[in-house]
Chain A
Amino acid sequence: MRALPVLLAALLFAPQARAETVGSKAFTESVILGEIAKDTLEKAGVPTTHRRELGGSRILFDAVKARRIDFYPEYTGTLRFELLAAQHLANDAALGPALAAQGLALTRPLGFSDSYGIAMRADKAKALGIAKLSDLAQHRDLRFGFSNEFVDRKDGWPALVAAYGLGGVRVQGINHDLAYRALNAGQIDLTDAYTTDAEIAAYNLVVLTDDAKFFPPYDAVFVIRSDLSPKARAALDSLAGTIDEAKMRALNRMVRMDKQTETAAARAALGGGAGIDNEPTRFERIAQRTIEHLALVAAALALALLAALPLGVIAARHRRLGSAVLAITGVLQTIPSLALFVVLIPLLGIGAAPTIFALFLYSLLPIVRNTHAGLTGIAPALLDSADALGLTRAARLRRIELPLALPTILAGVRTAAVIAVGLATLGAIIGAGGYGQPILTGIRLNSTPLILEGAIPAAMLALLIEGLFTLIERRAVPRGLRRP
């Protein structure tokens, strides 16, 4: 227990070596680009840390704004239509000034666009002489199978129909992952795709040219802090125009289909030889994540106990205040965890600190509620006896009330601990590590073994904690309070 504050301090205030930090989103392409950037900077003599798989665009954007990371790969379309949507920017050129106002800048485009496109088997397209989207008007009998999302989006299929005069074409909704297989098997002829999907390379598909410029550009760039060191910036700009769609597809394919690491893909992209990978063994990985996971849960629980016990006592003492405290902790519990993480980034950054804080908030309710219930559930006659004995308020609380409420309080802490073990896996999306990391990667790479590498230890840890609490209860709860 003595080590805990030290551990906490180390997690929260670890001095960041003054190197640049690149973040990446939780999908393959972003992680590869992060690795490419890291390698490029290091070759240029700038030490670089890569914080992989930090969740979605909003999290990365907030992180770079809050100076928790120095840059990350992004798409111009995402900036225009999601992150800066409120500013209704007319074109990509308007992004520069808009970002400058927030202390950010863009590097020059890497050379590919990851936008929506319509994919078709290369052989079939060739046979029918289809190369552009405008050619489709002559081939209305083709079978169109689109993801439900694309069919439903206002700027998706309905807009595409209007732009290319495809009215009356029959469309069938299909799961995006199945669409490629259906296309390959000849069950459908066309589907929506991202222009750099690995499957386009793997299944020998073509993306039809968007000759009416219907799909907005999603040019890959790096969003950087304006005051990024010139050396780092120059290194990133040297990547401009070096990766086209075909190359990006091939890199995605290396990772997603050929099961190579993002690091290997990045080396391939930069033309470096296959370096010696010091990949930790599975056991080392699990051990490392167990430490990270336990640190998150233990720190959050320790803080929660410090706050929740007094809150529970106050709630039990003052009826009015008590309902307010219970209501507030109850509301905290209902905040969606993802939303909470995002809100916390500007305040606490990314990594362990916001995760611990979020887990702390979620742990409050079970402990406060059980402390309150345990204390208010004590028979009034026993409190009378304690008062008549002449115990002071403080002595009564310490020697009578808290011990009598102990089994209920422990049950609350146990609930909080088990919830925290589960929720801590979500911390991986903001770079807190732990068992969430392999789960996140596993979902991204569609790899069940990787998902299990996180899920099984997490479940075992939850069971272990249950067992630990059974032990604590046996030791801490006096015989007189135990059910026979």
Chain B
Amino acid sequence: MQHKTEGVEFWPPLASLSLIDNMGTMIILSSVTVRYGGVAALGPADLVIQPRQTTLLIGPSGSGKSTLLRTLAGLTDYTGTLTVDGEVVTDWRALRQKLGYVIQDGGLFPHLTARANVALAGEAFGWPREKIETRIGEMAELVGLDMVQLARFPAELSGGQRQRVGVMRALLRDPQILLFDEPLSALDPVTRLRLAGELRDLFARLGKTVVMVTHSLREAMFFGGCVVLLRDGRIVQHGELADLIAHPADQFVTDFIAAEEAL
């Protein structure tokens, strides 16, 4: 399997993927606010996340990127409304069925093997065993893991392998929405570059609505798409990255870009 992890060309031809929907899913936030002990960690935020695109959340530490992402998965107590495909979200379990969520280091359960971690995504919705097995086979190939690696516990895998398992688990149910929270930041530069390339390609091929928190402008540049810049829980600027650089909304955006370039 190792030879398959080099570069872009190992991805299977589009036709072998049975799971592409053509419409994509649009997410709309209006006046979404998350408070911790009275202090607003996010918002009020108004935002439209375009379907079949990669939207990148950037901003300094503590600016609310993770909080925004967790809100999209229904993991926070928020006020305001969240609309997905034209409907205000009330039934989170139904939404989660078509949503994949991956955090730094994969968010794997240490007491389960990689395979059991992945299978859980199907078991949570009562999938039959054979269907889960079939999907595990497909997804393992997609992310470049073999069965020996899948039999291991998370602690017995490398950081990069754990992240691949996390991606596999998120993709198992073929969700329309993929949420990533700094999926690359725990990796060494070489692995990070390889995985970033694979993810970028995957997003392009699958046509999912992807929201990814990233560490840096450089990473955002690599993935392309829309950028949402946050500061102290507020959305400062939203648009194409090139626009952001050409027309910074205010001094903060200018400084943020300058700081990125300096280091």
A residues in contact (CB < 8 Å) with B: 381-382, 384-392, 395, 399-400, 403-404, 406, 478-481, 484
Contact = CB atoms under 8 A, between A and B. Distances in A.
Interface stretch (B54-62, B120-128, B211-219, B232-240): B120-128
A399 B120 contact: yes
Contacts of A387: 73-75, 96
A392 to B, nearest CB: 7
Contact of B112 (A390, A391, A395, A480): A480
A404 B111 contact: yes
Given A384-B101, A385-B103, A390 B125 contact: yes
A143 to B, nearest CB: 74
Contact of B109 (A395, A400, A406, A479): A400
B74 A480 contact: no
Interface residues of B, number: 28
Contacts of B74: 387-388
A66 B101 CA distance: 64
Contact of A385 (B93, B109, B125): B109
Interface string B79-110: 00000000000000100110111010001111
Contacts of B207: none
30 contacts: A381-B103, A382-B107, A384-B107, A385-B101, A385-B103, A385-B109, A387-B73, A387-B75, A388-B74, A388-B96, A388-B99, A388-B101, A389-B101, A390-B97, A390-B125, A391-B124, A395-B124, A399-B120, A403-B112, A404-B109, A404-B110, A404-B111, A478-B112, A479-B153, A480-B111, A480-B112, A480-B113, A480-B153, A480-B154, A481-B111
Given A381-B107, A382-B109, A389 B121 contact: yes
Contacts of B97: 390
Contacts, number: 68
B169 interface: yes
Nearest to A392: B93
B155 A480 contact: yes
A385 B153 contact: no
Contacts of A480: 110-113, 153-156
> Of A382, A389, A390, A392, which is in contact with the most chain B CB atoms at under 10 Å from its CB?
A389
Given A404-B110, A478-B111, A481-B110, A388 B75 contact: yes
Contact of A390 (B108, B113, B124, B154): B124
Contacts of B111: 403-404, 406, 478, 480-481
A389 B96 contact: yes
Contacts of A388: 73-75, 96, 99-101, 179
B192 interface: no
A390 B169 contact: no
Contacts of A391: 120, 124
B161 to A, nearest CB: 14
B164 to A, nearest CB: 15
Nearest to A404: B111
A86 B228 CA distance: 81
B198 to A, nearest CB: 21
Contacts of A390: 93, 96-97, 121, 124-125
Given A387-B74, A481-B110, 11 more contacts: A384-B70, A384-B103, A385-B109, A386-B109, A389-B96, A390-B96, A391-B124, A403-B111, A478-B153, A480-B155, A481-B111
Contacts of B110: 404, 480-481
A391 B122 CA distance: 10
B212 to A, nearest CB: 15
